[in-house]
Structure 1
Amino acid sequence: MVKSLPIRSEVKIEETWNLDDLFKTEDDYNAAVAELEKAVAAFVEKFKGNINDAPSVNEALKGYAAIYEKTVPVGTYTSLASSVDQTNDEAQMRSSKYGSTAAKINSKLSFVNSELSELPLEVLEQAQQQSTDFKNYLDKLIRKKDHQLHPEVEKTLAAFSSTFNGAYGLYNTTKMVDMSFDDFEVDGQKYPLSYVSFEGAWETEPDTDKRRAAFDAFSAKLKEYQHTTAKTYDMHLQTEKTTSDVRGYDTVFDYLLFNQEVDRSMYNRQIDLITKELAPHMRKYAKLIQKVHGLDKMTFADLKIPLDPTYEPKISVEESKKYINESLAIMGDDYLNMVDRSYKERWIDFAQNKGKSTGAFCSSPYGNHPYILISWTGSMEDVFVLAHELGHAGHFYNANREQNVFNARPSLYFIEAPSTMNEMLVANHLLKNSDDPKFKRWVISSIVARTYYHNFVTHLLEAAYQRKVYERIDAGGSVNAGVLNNLKRSVLEEFWGEDVDINDGAELTWMRQPHYYMGLYPYTYSAGLTISTQVSKRILAEGQPAVDEWLEVLKAGGTESPAELAKMAGVDITTEQPLLDTIAYIGELINQLVVLTEEIESKQ
């Protein structure tokens, strides 16, 4: 039974993360902001107009890195405090205030990249020879030289940064504050509904009448806000297109892929190949769900239900430790120590409460430990989600220790590889430890329904839809709710064909995803999972040598391109083979589910 969510002040403190590790009091936070502003003023005074040779380049970047490190805890605290309760006025006002402060700081500091970009190439190369600390930073700056604007224009654009980022804040406010769900009714009984309860429980509810009624009620509420949300999204898209044009990129795609260090062919291949090659496997999976559950028809609202809901064990936070420790033990003692600390030292926010951000994420502030947000419902899926976020944590726990603040973060293209790797390790561990057909089917269906469905299907279909949106924007167009609904529906219908009825409300799923405000992010999930699937197979086959290579990849942070990082782990992502291998592997898993289901049913 799904209950109404408590307010934040009612949840147990041990279920919440401990932000005291960033700032113990509001006074400490305010003092850090004041210290940051003072440091920026001193830095500007010392370096503005004085970066003119190789030694001054390295000295300025050293000071710039120090300031960047000061912004990290302040920005992280501001963001995390508001993410657990969007209804908290104090946290929202603090966030708004710091947004303005950060914009002023960015504007004042914009001279650094402007002055560096105006220096002759030989001076920058000389600086790289004199110090390897900032070689990576300068490489990226040299790549961007052609897109750098006049210093005064850069300063002005930086001053508007909080305004340019405003669409994302508006989206979250609409979603988490304004949108309030009424109870829905089935057979005369009322049931509570919220964003968290829908995505965490009702979507996977085995009772078809309740599940479909919840979907209809959820969709009806989304529909009330579709025009505001579409206008918000269009505002974000137009900002990106204008920035792309102003900076001289050929297309908005080139602009958004530039920092990912990925060319357009790798982006398109990921979407096109999966849409074509994976669809038949997933349609087979949809038919299996329909058969097992005896559904009159297979609708979009039925795709998330587990194959065997009666076998789904409830798992407490405490019990999850055992699964995760045993699954990730192959990663070594240092990695397991991080996992242990994350539970003991309250790095994780498990609570379910009103106003909390949906989904899950990991924030890994440089110079501090990671923080993980999840809303724990007690299903096995939560173990996979937590393992996923601990994959992000383990990545930056290693990279932040090994690299400077500019070198720690890799391309967005690679960011989901370490996270999905942990999901594969959990799955492999569970499969290895049982021969029971029902247990094996449950584990494999968890991998398909959670790891692959979420990362390879949900996010991939978002990416296919997003590409259609940007093609329209790139041609000088705009979007509204009707356009977005039609684009989303067309993508879903193309993938699922006649095997799944794309019922009313399915087209509104574009309203549920914050990733659209983060550039070309959704497709990177399947890219990361392609890499992690191949590496996890290596780890199963080769053991420790493959693990050691993977740990070196984590420590490398952003010092290599995605293709080079994958190559370090033994995967060549410049070809389509790893992707085709991964799709074939998903097909094998679904075939196993069909065979196991026949075996189980023959014994009943």
Structure 2
Amino acid sequence: MGKVLKERKDIDQSLTWDLSAIYATDEKFQSAVKEMKELALKMEKDYKGKLNAAGKINECLDELRKLYQFRDLTGSYVELLVAVDYANNENQDKYSKITNIISDIDSRLSFIKSEIIQGHDEILEAAINMSKENSNYLKDIKREKAHALHPEAERVLAALSGALEAPYQVYEQAKHADMDFKSFTVNGIEYPLGYALFENEYEYENDTKVRRAAFKAFSDKLREYQYTTAAAYQVQVQKEKNMATLRGFDSVIDSLLFPQKVDSKLYNRQIDLITEKLALHMRKYAKLLKKVHKLDEMTFADLKIAVDPEYDPNVTIEQSKKYIEGALAVLGDDYLEMVKKAYNERWIDFAQNKGKSTGGFCASPYGSHSFILLSWSEKMAEVFTLAHELGHAGHFKLCNESQNIFDVNVSTYFVEAPSTMNELLMANYLLKINEDKRFRRWVLSSMIGHTYYHNFITHLLEAAYQREVYRIIDEGGSVQASTLSKIKKEVLEKFWGEDVKIIDGAELTWMRQPHYYMGLYSYTYSAGLTIATEVSKRILKEGQRAIDDWRAVLRAGSTKTPVELAQMAGVDITTDKPLFDTIEHIGSIIDEIVKLTEEIEA
């Protein structure tokens, strides 16, 4: 079980992504950086102190769109270089330099927003009416007017933007570069351990002794870093509190929901209803796992195991193409073409190597195609993850083709809907190609154990924890490692009740997610999956009409609010109904898994 992770330099190139699609050579990258700096200086010279007419404002914003594209491509390029090997000092150096350059540019050009905000309302209205390309950007500036600071304060904050990202950088370095996991031993056999090995393999390990020993060894290593991680997180949340207060928001949560364009009612509903209503269904699922695996007790370390571990076929990268292409073909020929290119043109980093970022993500820099990071483990769960990340890629392909760079900044409330939708399309496709009972149970349990567990439970319980942290911060308190562990443990105990033992180490789950450094992101997974569940049911029922509506939503980018985007897809998220329906849907899948298990064992 498990394997020793290779150094990045020893990885087969075919398993890595090809970043030359952004910049073919280092010279081209350096040339783009130079051009970006020159454009910023020219804009400062041409427009500073002169944005007092609608025509001039739009002329400046036309240039700003070009600059944003440079910033997106250069910034993404260095982030992607670092993500696959946090121990590579040369790439870390590149990343730091670009961060500083972008901070300087943002500081120099902060006058643009400030001058537009301070100008007369009629000039702003005239500028909005004059340019379709810039109108949404200008409407957002108008919306931000109430929370804008003095121009000099905005300039200083922009200059410090790189430094203000430090908590996240400290977290990532501690996690990927410093944590050195030693191997652990079970029954005289030595097993290697690493972050990705634990999260991608040992959590799903069928051998209970090995699985629980891996959990203990992993947790022991996390515990050694709890004070550093808590200190970084305390700085992060205190920074967010200070920014919220400076900008006149009543709470951190209000300030973080503001850019998402949703209110606290939608935010609180996701957390409260799922914690209350979904818990009973998931406890039933936990009891089934305990029974099937004949466990002495059901612990937190056992929640990711398969209902039918003998029926969890290994899937090679080559085999995954058949599943992915078959499932996503319904979204259109151009979408399928993109999927094929993702494989053939090395958009995907499949490798498992030392120092690589864990989990999966998709970066979609404007002006290039997407890049997907995975750690391929040959499990079906990884096929679902790839379908998920291709959902982001497909979303931003359609969105970037249809919108300019100002209009592709999709609200995080909605951004996980296209990705989770693809996981549901994958499940629906698999159920169609094989009617065997055991296969059906395996697919349904993959949906619960992966798609819904990950997005509706893991991330949702993070969100419940995060909300408590912000309540403490809003009341003038601070959070230490012991506080964070206590909150996390209480959240887990409330959800799982008597049915799952929250063992030592479970409380350290707060240390495992980068999402806490990205505002209110964790709760948006369940929000996106609620929309996706309802739309996927529509696709099964209505076919092409529902798919056409969905593609129109993907193309809309950030030109609509999350409520409007959901409405375009036929879902009304201003009511509780979609969430209640989704929870009921999850419950019915679990009931069917229980029933199929009884039939198979009979």
Q: TM-score, normalised by structure 1?
A: 0.99
CA distance in 2, matches of 1:477, 1:163: 23
Pairwise CA distance, 1:409: 2.2
Q: Does 1:527 align with 2:534?
A: no
> Do the aligned residues in 2 keep the contact of 1:78 with 1:91 (CA within 8 Å)?
yes
User: How far 1:130 moved relative to its partner?
Assistant: 1.3
Secondary structure in 2 aligned to 1:294?
A: coil
What is the one-letter code of the residue matched to 1:370? Answer: S
Question: Take 1:123 and 1:241, find their aligned partners in 2: how far apart are those partners?
Answer: 33
Residue 177 of structure 1, CA deviation: 0.6
Alpha-carbon distance in structure 2 between the residues aligned to 1:67 and 1:410 = 19
Structure 2 matches for 1:244-263, cutoff 5 A?
A: 244-263=244-263
Letter in 2 for 1:109: L
Deviation at 1:125, TM superposition (A): 1.1
Corresponding residue of 1:183 = 183
Q: Distance in 1 between matches of 2:253 and 2:269?
A: 14
Please state if 1:105 is matched with 2:86: no
Equivalent position of 2:223 in the other structure: 223
- Is residue 169 of structure 1 aligned with residue 169 of structure 2? yes
Q: 2:35 and 2:137 mapped to 1: Cα distance? A: 25
* Corresponding residue number in structure 1 for 2:269: 269
SS of residue in 2 equivalent to 1:51: coil
Aligned with 2:362: secondary structure? strand
Matches within 5 A, 1:190-209: 190-209=190-209
Residue pair 1:111, 1:155 contacting (<8 A) in 2 also: yes
Q: In the aligned structure 2, how far is the partner of 1:396 from the partner of 1:591?
A: 36
Distance 1:141 1:35 in 2: 27
Partner deviation per Cα, 1:70-96 (whole Å, 9 max, x = no partner): 111100111000000001110111111
Count of paired positions? 602
How far does the alpha carbon of each residue in 1:260-309 deviate from its partner, in whole angstroms, 9 at most, with x for none? 00101100000000000000000000000000000000000000001111
The residue aligned with 1:38 is 38
The CA deviation at 1:384 is 0.2
RMSD across aligned positions (CA): 0.6
CA distance in 1, matches of 2:177, 2:222: 13
Task: Please name the residue that 1:462 is paired with.
Answer: 462
1:492 maps to 2:509? no
Q: AA paired with 2:66?
A: A
Q: Distance in 1 between matches of 2:451 and 2:234?
A: 31
Instruction: After TM superposition, list the pairs within 5 Å mapping 1:117-196 onto structure 2.
Output: 117-196=117-196
Distance 1:408 1:24 in 2: 25
Supply the distance in 2 between the matched residues of 1:304 and 1:565 (Cα, whole angstroms). 33
Q: 1:8 corresponds to which residue? A: 8
Moved more, 501-510 or 22-31: 22-31
Within 5 A, what are the aligned runs for 1:53-68?
53-68=53-68
Q: Aligned partner of 1:262: which letter? A: V
Q: Deviations over 1:407-462 (max 9, x none)?
A: 01211100000000000000001112222111001000000000000000000000
Pairing of 1:338-417 with structure 2 (within 5 A): 338-417=338-417
**Residue 26 (structure 2) aligns with:** 26
Cα deviation digits, residues 139-186 of structure 1 (max 9, x gap) = 111110011111111000101111100110100000001100011010
In structure 2, what is the equivalent of residue 336 of structure 1? 336
Q: In the TM superposition, what is the alpha-carbon distance from 1:549 to its structure 2 partner? A: 0.5
Amino acid in structure 2 at the alignment position of 1:408: V
TM-superposed CA distance for 1:190, in Å, is: 0.8
SS at 2:122 equivalent: helix
Match of 2:405, SS state, is coil
d(CA) in 2 for partners of 1:199, 1:133: 43
3-state DSSP of counterpart to 1:401: helix
CA distance in structure 2 between the aligned counterparts of 1:28 and 1:547, rounded to whole angstroms? 40
Q: Deviations over 1:471-500 (max 9, x none)?
A: 001111111100000000000000000000
Q: Which runs of 5+ in 1 are unaligned?
A: none
Which secondary structure state, in structure 2, belongs to the residue aligned with residue 278 of structure 1?
Answer: helix
Whole-Å separation in 2 of the counterparts to 1:584 and 1:450:
17
Output the CA distance in 1 between the equivalents of 2:442 and 2:122. Answer: 60
- Larger mean Cα displacement after TM superposition, 130-139 or 323-332: 130-139
Q: Distance in 2 between matches of 1:78 and 1:48?
A: 30
Which moves more between the two structures, 286-295 or 425-434? 425-434
State whether residues 351 and 375 of structure 1, in contact with CA within 8 Å, keep that contact through their aligned partners in structure 2: yes
Q: Secondary structure at the match of 2:406?
A: coil
Alpha-carbon offset, residue 25 of structure 1:
1.9
- AA matched with 1:510: W
Q: Which residue of 1 aligns with 2:595?
A: 595
Deviation at 1:120, TM superposition (A): 1.6
Secondary structure in 1 aligned to 2:190? strand
CA offset digits 1:100-154 (Å, max 9, x no partner):
1111111001001000101122211111111111111111111100111111110
Cα distance in 1 for partners of 2:348, 2:327 equals 19
> SS in structure 2 opposite 1:362?
strand
Q: Does 1:48 align with 2:36?
A: no
Aligned residue identity for 1:245: T
Answer with 91-100 or 334-343: which moved more.
91-100
Q: The residue matched to 1:479 in structure 2 has which SS?
A: coil
Deviation at 1:50, TM superposition (A): 0.7
State the partner residue of 1:286.
286
Measured in 2, the distance between the counterparts of 1:598 and 1:371 equals 43
How far, CA to CA, are the matches of 2:413 and 2:212 in structure 1?
35
Give how far 1:189 is off.
1.2
Where 2:378 maps in the other structure, the secondary structure is: coil
SS in 2 for 1:173: helix
Q: State the distance in 1 between where 2:101 and 2:408 align.
A: 25
Report the Cα distance in structure 1 between the residues aligned to 2:47 and 2:276, rounded to whole angstroms.
54
Aligned ranges 1:302-341 → 2 under 5 Å: 302-341=302-341
Partner of 2:419: 419
What pairs with 1:67-78 in structure 2 (closer than 5 Å)?
67-78=67-78
Q: Structure 2: which 5+ residue stretches go unaligned?
A: none
Shift of 1:463: 0.2
Where 1:406 maps in the other structure, the secondary structure is helix
Misfit runs of 4+, over 3 Å:
none
Q: Distance in 2 between matches of 1:318 and 1:434?
A: 20
Query: Which residue does the alignment assign to 1:551?
Result: 551
After superposing the two structures, state which structure 1 stretch, 96-105 or 573-582, moved more: 96-105
Partner Cα separation in structure 2 for residue 210 and residue 131 of structure 1: 62
Letter in 1 for 2:224: E
Secondary structure, aligned partner of 1:420? helix
Report the Cα offset of residue 34 of structure 1.
1.2
CA distance, structure 1, for counterparts of residue 232 and residue 129 of structure 2: 46
Deviation track 1:182-232 (CA, whole Å, cap 9, x = no partner) reads: 110101111000000000000010000000000000000000000110001
Query: Corresponding residue for 2:89?
Result: 89
**Aligned mates of 2:262, 2:161 — CA distance in 1:** 25
Q: Which amino acid aligns with 1:533?
A: T
Write the distance in 2 (CA, Å) between the matches of 1:66 and 1:248.
Answer: 32
> SS at the partner of 1:449?
helix
Note if contact 1:399-1:409 (Cα within 8 Å) is conserved in structure 2: no
Alignment match, 1:575 = 575
